[in-house]
Structure 1
Amino acid sequence: MSTNESYDLVVVGSGAAGAMAALRAAHLGLSVLVVEKARKFGGTSATSGGVLWVPNHQLAPNDDSREKTMTYLNAVMPGPVQNDRLQAYLDKAPEMAQFVKSLGIPISVAAWPDYYQAAPSARADRSLIVDTFDGPQLGAYFPLMREQYNRFKVFGRYTMDVMQFFSLSTRAKGWVMTFIKMFWRYWSDLATRKLTARDRRFTMGAALMGWLYKHVFAKGVEVRLDTRLDELVLSDNKVSGVVVSHFGRRYTIEARYGVVLAAGGFEWNQELRDRYFPVPGLTRHSSTPEDANRGEALIAGLKVGAATEHTESGWWIPTMQMPMASASNFEEIHQAAFDVGRPHSVAVNRLGLRFVDEATGYDDFGKAMVADQLKTGANMPCWLVFDATFREKFSAGGIMPNILMPDRKIPPDWWDHYIFRADSIEALAGKIGVPAETLKKTVANMNGYAKTGVDPEFGRGGNAYDQMFGDWNVKPNPCLGSIDKAPYYAVAINCGDLGTKGGLKADARARVLDQNNQPIPNLYAAGNNAGSPFGNCYPGAGGTIGPAMTFGYVAAEDIARRAGKLAAPAAASVRAAA
């Protein structure tokens, strides 16, 4: 397997971490190759919400600071983390965001509350988003970028941005006009309709990746698809390249100064889930691209002696399975992140008992499912129970509101398998195998909470984050509505994920560490390929992509510095990265 290819840097994986590592390195004058095992580029990031959590970002006037951010993080992080790595993130994330802005990418502040609003120094301006992207700007690469899931489209066709999603999912005032405009924009685009059914308007994660790759390709970086990492090459005790395979042909590529592993986590590897997770769950419940993140880069790192951290948990999100309407015998996963906290509903375990503030952040919802499963053995899946009022207004995973998916349009084989319906709570309990009297009492309690506006059990609707996804037409608490209008419904909710929180242990310079906490020369990791700087904590919207892009940026700069393309860091950065 001789090599005749050589680059300064080889990046493994084409999601946000890999794209930023490639872009920053190319911007600093390094030759870069990105290898991606999938047939499309963009990774999980292209299918995501595309939000970055960047505290103290300085993109808009505010009074945030590193000190306030640390006050918040110290209050919400449940366990120990690498402090120098966390400090490096706080130093470099704003710099990374400024770099993105300097390229002309329309990055802006989103009014998205931190996930722990009761914690000191929580805010609602640390999350960043980018504006929509016109897909054909990628030229021939337009059809090769991974497409958004149907859950971010209307009728699997019309893409939505964040505001349109909230407008349509809650049927807010003006939602009909919102849809009409989306419909008209799509069908009036005659040129694109002649070529593809794909919407040329990239939103959310697709917008982020579209903008990044516009600049990656402009720098002449090659993204080589269908190219899987098989192993890392070691020479003189340092990583000197990669062995990859392309439709079965194996070959070696030299990396003169470094390899950045940015190939995602291991959520689609059942063996690794069974090894690391306290409650493994099924790969099939993940909401990331099917069979994509199987941990090949993690395994390659382990083979050269790398250590791991935070592998016991994923970025949890409640999900729901539903058949694909256009493909018999196939199912798809739908996120239910915000559905589980809408008014006129309650989430219960298989004992008929609540176990969480249903409107909490989706990661905490998943943590509660895991904890309840360990405690009772009667969770995973749990049940989302709701009434006809909820059914009229809100989605339940893949079950769209009644106006878009009336009961008469639901295929007969879905009833009592994917969605359950009954004329009474008792009858519904019988169908889903939950103790009827317990479920009746739980529902009665919720109806009482809806009247007072106070949830004494879990505090649902008692903070700004919860309320963001409620219905302000419901009084006195937008997250608590009575469950009293027949028929009654239930769907099973799985403990899904957005990837894994743990991976290779990397330091403040994104260098992969060995079992003795020493850097493995020339080997770097970023994104879900590495352990989260927050440990088992999801501090706010974009808590995955923000660090992914930051440490991709950090890795590129460290490699460029060693290659003589970048001066030594300033004193403050030395302090953070030491």
Structure 2
Amino acid sequence: MSEAEIYDVIVVGSGTAGASTALRAAELGLSVLIIEKAHKYGGTSATSGGVMWLPNHQLTPSDDSREKTMEYLNHLLRSEVQRDRLDVYVDQAPKMAHFLKSVGVPLMPAAWPDYFADAPSARGDRSVICDTFDGRKLGDHFLHMREQYTRFKVFNRYAMDVVEFFSISTRAPGWIKTFLKMAWRYWSDLGTRMLGKRDRRFTQGGALMGHVYSKVFDRGVEVRLETRLDELIVRGEEVTGVKVSHFGRPYEIIARHGVVLCAGGFEWNQELRDRYWPVPGQTRNSSTPEDANRGEALIAGLNAGAATEHTEAGWWIPTMHMPMPKASNFEEIHQAAFDVGRPHSVCVNRNGDRFVDEACSYDEFGEAMVADHQKTGANNPCWLVFDAQFRAKFTAGGFMPNLISPDWMIPKDYWDHYIFKADSVEALAHKVHLPVDKLKTVVANMNQYALSGDDPEFGRGSNDYDRMFGDANVSPNPCLGAINKAPYYAVPINLGDLGTKGGLKANADGCVVNSEDQPIGNLYAAGNNAGSPFGNLYPGAGGTIGPAMTFGYVAANHIAQRAGKLAKAAEDSEAASGSATAPASITA
């Protein structure tokens, strides 16, 4: 038997949690290996919007503060949380942001309202994004990063940043010029076209991962692909390494100071969904990479004696199915996060009843689906109903606006299976088996609300978050437009997810704990395979990635302290504390 490899730190999973852990640990002088079971690195994060919720980040002058952040969160928390862990997140998130900036990751606040815009101390500047990244700067690693989904590309080719996405999806003034510029940039890049179809311009989650991984690779960290975690090696009271397999070949890797589990949640494991979630739904409704996050890290942690928390909760998002281009026997998932709240539309359950402010955050939309299904049994899926005005301007999941993808271009076998169409509301109700009178009443009510600008049922369009994703050309309420122009359409909307909010229970240092809240030696967790510091709450855009990167950073600091490498961390902390933009010192 060959001698086992040895590293200071082994990171399981290559998403933002793993990348943050590896970058910080390597910066502190620790040897690091990232193992990734997929054939591409970047995890779910590389396919995401790439937004981090980092309150009081102070990347630009701001009057945000720790106190305002806690006022906002305390008003909203809906489940028991570990208060010390939440405190550490609020204190360390700004430090993590300044660390990234100090090593050259270009961060900038986004004009994105907190998801509960009416709550005390809600703001519009706590979400942070990265500028676009030239993927070719990754060299040989360029083609091995996980690629964005179709939904973040036009015609499955042209990568869109956040501004371009909203310009095109809402047909804002100048959107045609925006699209033509994207197309020219793509086709004029002859060198990359010789390599393949992939756009060298990494945006959103790809941009964040590109910038961070360029720093990870600069520090000599290896990302070992097609390497699956099979088991944690436990000796006495602590974890000493991992048992892995590579195309079926098993071997062991030893960790001197820590194994950090950053391998995503369990949303692609139907057995675990059925065990933990109140409305399990199907794995195929998830919008994370297919069959990727199957809970291997959670299972390995449980087998090592770990406790869990918040496993009943998911990061919800409405989704819908469509056949894959040029492969009609296979389906792909499309998010409908913002589509469900556009004007000229309404969402109803299978009883024909509205159940939510459709323009709310996608996680709240999912929470409403769960609650309604528990009450009525008539949700998941629900129905998005819209008219020709909506169809002309907006996306409906994977269906592009009529101007880009007119009805005649939609394959005939999609009709009455993935999208439904009729000349009247009554005929549409018959097609999708909704109560005719109820649907007619709902549509008539929405038309009245569009005239007055007021939704007395659910307050759609009554706050900054709702209005951000409406149509500025529609008044008096940009989220309410009459549903009165034939033909009429409907698409089924599923309870999808961005992963799990719950998993292994970790303490304020990122250490995985057992049922008695005692740390399991050398074992850490960050990201969606750990419980969220917010419990069952999604406070703002980037509420997944912000804590994932922060607790990866926290775990790396704690490992470095235990390994006697804390001098660099303390030096960074002291430098930051001398700045008006820095929070308190590192928690060890």
The equivalent of 2:529 in structure 1 is 529
Contact (CA 8 Å) 1:344, 1:482: kept in 2 or not?
yes
The equivalent of 1:410 in structure 2 is 410
1:292-331 paired onto structure 2 within 5 Å: 292-331=292-331
1:1-150 paired onto structure 2 within 5 Å: 3-150=3-150
The separation in 2 between residues aligned to 1:383 and 1:3, in whole angstroms, is: 58
The equivalent of 1:506 in structure 2 is 506
The equivalent of 2:544 in structure 1 is 544
SS in 1 for 2:329: coil
- State the shift of 1:417 in Å: 0.4
The equivalent of 2:361 in structure 1 is 361
Contiguous gaps of at least 5 residues in structure 2:
578-582
Aligned residues: 578
Q: Residue type matched to 1:301 in 2?
A: G
The separation in 2 between residues aligned to 1:39 and 1:327, in whole angstroms, is: 22
SS in 2 for 1:146: coil
The separation in 2 between residues aligned to 1:386 and 1:144, in whole angstroms, is: 40
The separation in 2 between residues aligned to 1:413 and 1:101, in whole angstroms, is: 50
Contact (CA 8 Å) 1:138, 1:210: kept in 2 or not?
yes
The equivalent of 1:218 in structure 2 is 218
SS in 1 for 2:414: coil
Q: Residue type matched to 2:179 in 1?
A: F
SS in 2 for 1:229: strand
The equivalent of 1:389 in structure 2 is 389
Q: 1:449 to 1:370 in 2, by over 3 A?
A: same
The separation in 2 between residues aligned to 1:278 and 1:232, in whole angstroms, is: 29
The separation in 1 between residues aligned to 2:585 and 2:364, in whole angstroms, is: 33
Over aligned residue pairs, what C-alpha RMSD do you find?
1.3
The equivalent of 1:420 in structure 2 is 420
Q: 1:576 to 1:97 in 2, by over 3 A?
A: closer
SS in 2 for 1:163: helix
Q: Residue type matched to 2:374 in 1?
A: L
Q: Is 1:374 the equivalent of 2:374?
A: yes
The separation in 2 between residues aligned to 1:46 and 1:26, in whole angstroms, is: 21
The separation in 1 between residues aligned to 2:69 and 2:340, in whole angstroms, is: 29
- State the shift of 1:236 in Å: 2.4
1:549-568 paired onto structure 2 within 5 Å: 549-567=549-567
The separation in 2 between residues aligned to 1:19 and 1:458, in whole angstroms, is: 40
Q: Which moved more, 1:357-366 or 1:100-109?
A: 100-109
Contact (CA 8 Å) 1:2, 1:252: kept in 2 or not?
no
The separation in 2 between residues aligned to 1:544 and 1:247, in whole angstroms, is: 31
Q: Is 1:450 the equivalent of 2:455?
A: no
The separation in 2 between residues aligned to 1:562 and 1:200, in whole angstroms, is: 40
Contact (CA 8 Å) 1:87, 1:576: kept in 2 or not?
no
Q: Which moved more, 1:260-269 or 1:185-194?
A: 185-194
> Residues 183-223 of structure 1, C-alpha deviation per residue, up to 9 Å, x if partnerless?
10001111111111100000000000001110100000010
Q: 1:577 to 1:310 in 2, by over 3 A?
A: farther
1:477-496 paired onto structure 2 within 5 Å: 477-496=477-496
Q: 1:93 to 1:469 in 2, by over 3 A?
A: same
The separation in 1 between residues aligned to 2:419 and 2:469, in whole angstroms, is: 23
The separation in 2 between residues aligned to 1:173 and 1:3, in whole angstroms, is: 63
- State the shift of 1:4 in Å: 2.2
SS in 2 for 1:329: strand
Q: Residue type matched to 2:196 in 1?
A: T
The equivalent of 1:464 in structure 2 is 464
The equivalent of 1:228 in structure 2 is 228
The separation in 2 between residues aligned to 1:29 and 1:433, in whole angstroms, is: 63
SS in 1 for 2:546: helix
- State the shift of 1:576 in Å: 8.4
The separation in 1 between residues aligned to 2:416 and 2:285, in whole angstroms, is: 20
Q: 1:212 to 1:575 in 2, by over 3 A?
A: closer
Contact (CA 8 Å) 1:307, 1:504: kept in 2 or not?
yes
The separation in 2 between residues aligned to 1:336 and 1:574, in whole angstroms, is: 40
SS in 2 for 1:330: strand
- State the shift of 1:577 in Å: 4.8
Q: Is 1:332 the equivalent of 2:332?
A: yes
- State the shift of 1:296 in Å: 0.2
> Residues 328-351 of structure 1, C-alpha deviation per residue, up to 9 Å, x if partnerless?
300000000000000000000001
The separation in 2 between residues aligned to 1:480 and 1:328, in whole angstroms, is: 35
The separation in 2 between residues aligned to 1:321 and 1:477, in whole angstroms, is: 30
Q: Is 1:266 the equivalent of 2:266?
A: yes
The separation in 2 between residues aligned to 1:69 and 1:301, in whole angstroms, is: 32
The separation in 1 between residues aligned to 2:28 and 2:529, in whole angstroms, is: 24
The separation in 2 between residues aligned to 1:433 and 1:75, in whole angstroms, is: 40
The separation in 2 between residues aligned to 1:451 and 1:547, in whole angstroms, is: 42
The separation in 2 between residues aligned to 1:426 and 1:10, in whole angstroms, is: 60
The equivalent of 1:284 in structure 2 is 284
The equivalent of 2:398 in structure 1 is 398
SS in 1 for 2:327: coil
Contact (CA 8 Å) 1:3, 1:254: kept in 2 or not?
no
The equivalent of 2:205 in structure 1 is 205
- State the shift of 1:3 in Å: 4.2
- State the shift of 1:80 in Å: 1.2
Contact (CA 8 Å) 2:4, 2:251: kept in 1 or not?
no
TM-score normalized with structure 1 length: 0.99
> Residues 379-420 of structure 1, C-alpha deviation per residue, up to 9 Å, x if partnerless?
000000000000000000001100111001111111000000
- State the shift of 1:575 in Å: 9.4
Contact (CA 8 Å) 1:14, 1:41: kept in 2 or not?
yes
Contact (CA 8 Å) 1:306, 1:504: kept in 2 or not?
yes
The separation in 1 between residues aligned to 2:51 and 2:225, in whole angstroms, is: 25
Contact (CA 8 Å) 1:14, 1:35: kept in 2 or not?
yes
Contact (CA 8 Å) 2:152, 2:160: kept in 1 or not?
yes
The separation in 1 between residues aligned to 2:3 and 2:301, in whole angstroms, is: 21
Contact (CA 8 Å) 2:92, 2:586: kept in 1 or not?
no
SS in 1 for 2:412: coil
SS in 2 for 1:413: helix
The equivalent of 1:346 in structure 2 is 346
The separation in 2 between residues aligned to 1:484 and 1:421, in whole angstroms, is: 14
Q: Residue type matched to 1:10 in 2?
A: I
The separation in 2 between residues aligned to 1:227 and 1:363, in whole angstroms, is: 32
- State the shift of 1:15 in Å: 0.2
> Residues 300-332 of structure 1, C-alpha deviation per residue, up to 9 Å, x if partnerless?
000010000000011000001001122130000
Contact (CA 8 Å) 1:508, 1:576: kept in 2 or not?
no
Q: 1:162 to 1:319 in 2, by over 3 A?
A: same
The equivalent of 1:516 in structure 2 is 516
Q: Residue type matched to 1:488 in 2?
A: Y
The separation in 2 between residues aligned to 1:301 and 1:358, in whole angstroms, is: 38
Q: Residue type matched to 1:92 in 2?
A: Q
- State the shift of 1:574 in Å: 9.5
Contact (CA 8 Å) 1:273, 1:280: kept in 2 or not?
yes
Contact (CA 8 Å) 2:386, 2:489: kept in 1 or not?
yes
- State the shift of 1:76 in Å: 1.1
Q: Residue type matched to 1:304 in 2?
A: A
The separation in 1 between residues aligned to 2:271 and 2:4, in whole angstroms, is: 35
Q: Residue type matched to 2:395 in 1?
A: S
The equivalent of 2:580 in structure 1 is none
The equivalent of 1:186 in structure 2 is 186
The separation in 1 between residues aligned to 2:414 and 2:124, in whole angstroms, is: 40
Q: Residue type matched to 2:341 in 1?
A: G
